[in-house]
Structure 1
Amino acid sequence: MRKTLPISLALAALIGFTGCSQSSDTATGDNAAVSSEETTILRFAHFWPATSSTHKDIFDYWAKKVEEESKGRIKVEIYPSATLSKPDATYDNVAKGVVDIGSTLQGYTTGRFPLTQIAELPGLSNSATQMNCMLQTLYDDGVISSEYEDTHLLFMMGTGPGGLHTVDKPIRKPEDLKGMRIRGPSAITGNIIEAAGGTPVGLPVTDLYTSLQRGVLDGISLPWDAMGSFKLTELTNTHTNIPFYSSPIVVTMNKDKYASLPDDLKKVIDDNSGKAMAAVAGKVFDAQDAKFIAEAKAKGDTMIDIPNPLSDPDWKAPLEAGTQKYLKDTEALGLDAQTVYQKAQEASAACKS
């Protein structure tokens, strides 16, 4: 008995220690599983810099709202400055599931969104708020929604009017563009620049600073928000404020990722989609346009204002030529461009602020 008791106690202690260890490991594993099930991470890719208002006041604002309303069950990881996806590949990367959410300009993928890009045409928008309302209306009414069937669209947005920005070269009339290499963000702006006598150059906005520095470009066509966000106002000093286009922007989500969410989390995403977010984005872009215009004026930049180019005897012809060329090219694809253009005009009038 004296020898058996210590051995029995030792065995009992060993079994007890092992049992506690297994229990502890199991609990840790269960907690990890619960944590993993409760938290959905969404990777969001875009090309604007992290310092931009687009990143901070639109995308980060959206992410924080989604995280808060999901009570932390959704976490959004944002990758700005094209660190996760190049601008011209972002939409496809969302569709394929390379990223969960992405935002880019439709103009970066020529021919992919021909009906949506009708909204770029001159005369349709005089502010980002109007542009965003018009785009979201066209989507909600089913006019352009067929172009986004391979993703789950969150909201549409767009920039304020894009103008012309140069260095020591005032652009007052179309002939002033002759021989100049002007960056245009899409086929539509390229048509108009070419009709005016310039040479359109297609480059993503992330390449414009160095291209302008090196003389690859003579000028840039961009809205004021983008000019300031990408610090292009540092290199330019002459600006023609002519609203001859506005750029549409899409914010969309991978369909499978959305479908994988439980219903209550889908509702969180849905509650932060559509017209409400489009309106938020419009106000941000308009405020930034006003800010950077004021800063350029304060540093003594030259400002040339052509507020109604479709009524201007010099600018009317190239703008109308560029518009008709785009509509005819789109019709040639078998698409009813004229009807969409009419719908866009109706939405523009309804959204006019």
Structure 2
Amino acid sequence: MKRAISQSLLLASVATVSFSAHAETLRMSHFWPSASAVHQEIFEAWASSVEEASNGELEVQIFPSGTLSKPDHAYQGVVDGISDIAASLQGYTSGRFPLSEIVQLPGVSSSAPQGSCILQKMYDDELIASEYEDVKVLFLFTTGPAYLHTRNADIQSPADLSGLRIRRPSDVAGEMLSSLGADPLGMPAPDIYTSLQRGVMDGLSFPWEAMRVFGINELVNYHLEVPYYSGAVMAVMNRGAYEGLSDEMREVIDRHSGMEWSQIAGGVYHRLDAVGREEALEQGDTIHTVENPLNDPEWSGPLEEGTERYLARLEERGLNNARDIYEHALSLREECAE
């Protein structure tokens, strides 16, 4: 009898080990370096929280630095099942998220927490939800304002940008840079360091956080803080992978989706912006600031022109609600203020 009981306990123990060994593994892809605070404080923190909330039934295996899917293929990689989860900028998939990218226009947000709140609310209010119908949206957020950073050109007015080759992160930023007289160049963030080092471009558009994360501060000498653009970021999940989970595990994912994690991500970016700026100051760089470019006589005209061109281009594509969504985004600024 005792032997039978012992065998039963052994079988139960084996079954428990077997269950633990067969936890559902979700593969997450993103392009930030593994040593970056973005990786550690947003994506690793999210993964750890999911694993804890699921009592180990879900495991998240993270592939940073674009090792599973490149930044410009990350979203399609989720759709195709190459990864179960991916985080990337909407601007890396040109033309696919035109309404979401309205949040990037000048004057919409002044910080990462505010922009993240606005973008997540735009999705929650179903103004941009149609752009993500083939995935499960986890959370949406933004970077802080992107500024202009150059190696040798001391930019203080739009005229100083004439003919400069400036890396643009998205179509929206490209519209703004063209309006300002620059020559926009498109490339993923991980390629910027080498391109700038080799003289392929004169400067770039980046938030302070990214200047430090990708080591770009060490290559440039001049910075112009003109808040003309903010980057939109998404964390999304393959719909089949999500729907294939049990009800309990889908509920875990749902609890790790939406505004709470949007604000966690925005808060991390806000802190990192301050760290990146301080690094530039410590190395003796020159920093100029344009506090409110939309009210500045030199900057307002080109930026308003760029905004109008972007909205008109969306209308030409048949997106006749583009201006309404833009106005709605502006109306959320006070509600989403820090």
Q: TM-score range by the shorter chain?
A: over 0.9
CA distance in 2, matches of 1:80, 1:235: 24
Aligned to 2:199: 215
Deviations 1:51-72, CA, capped at 9 Å, x for gaps: 1111000000000000111111
CA distance in 2, matches of 1:241, 1:209: 20
Deviations 1:207-227, CA, capped at 9 Å, x for gaps: 000000000010010111111
CA distance in 1, matches of 2:186, 2:74: 17
CA RMSD across the alignment: 1.8
Residue 351 in structure 1 maps to residue 332 in structure 2: no
Residue 225 in structure 1 maps to residue 192 in structure 2: no
Residue 135 in structure 1 maps to residue 119 in structure 2: yes
State the shift of 1:31 in Å.
Answer: 3.8
The TM-score with structure 2 as length reference comes to 0.94
CA distance in 2, matches of 1:68, 1:139: 27
State the shift of 1:27 in Å.
Answer: 5.9
Contact 2:212/2:279 (8 A) holds in 1: no
Specify the SS of the correspondent of 1:48: coil
Aligned to 2:38: 54
Identity %: 46
Aligned to 1:20: none
Aligned to 2:275: 291
Letter in 2 for 1:337: A
Deviations 1:10-63, CA, capped at 9 Å, x for gaps: xxxxxxxxxxxxx9xx969x7499427851100000000011111000000000
- Between the two proteins, the alignment pairs up a number of residues equal to 330
CA distance in 2, matches of 1:188, 1:318: 13
Letter in 2 for 1:308: N
Aligned to 1:334: 318
Deviations 1:141-186, CA, capped at 9 Å, x for gaps: 1010110010000000110000000113111100101111000101
CA distance in 2, matches of 1:187, 1:211: 20
Q: Which runs of 5+ in 2 are unaligned?
A: 1-6
CA distance in 2, matches of 1:346, 1:295: 34
CA distance in 2, matches of 1:130, 1:155: 14
Deviations 1:230-259, CA, capped at 9 Å, x for gaps: 000110111001100001000000111111
State the shift of 1:295 in Å.
Answer: 1.4
Deviations 1:100-154, CA, capped at 9 Å, x for gaps: 0000100011110010001100001100000100000000010101100100000
- Which stretch of structure 1 is more off in the superposition, 33-42 or 247-256? 33-42
CA distance in 1, matches of 2:17, 2:317: 51
Letter in 2 for 1:169: A
Aligned to 1:123: 107
Flag the structure with larger Rg. Answer: 1
2:136 alignment partner, one of 152, 159, 162: 152
CA distance in 1, matches of 2:210, 2:157: 23
CA distance in 1, matches of 2:16, 2:68: 27
CA distance in 1, matches of 2:239, 2:171: 28
Letter in 2 for 1:274: G
State the shift of 1:192 in Å.
Answer: 1.1
State the shift of 1:189 in Å.
Answer: 0.9
Residue 82 in structure 1 maps to residue 66 in structure 2: yes
Aligned to 2:80: 96
1:170 alignment partner, one of 141, 150, 154: 154
CA distance in 1, matches of 2:60, 2:68: 14
Residue 245 in structure 1 maps to residue 254 in structure 2: no
Specify the SS of the correspondent of 2:307: helix
Letter in 2 for 1:84: L
Contact 2:210/2:276 (8 A) holds in 1: no
Distance verdict in 2 for CA 1:77–1:130, change over 3 Å: same
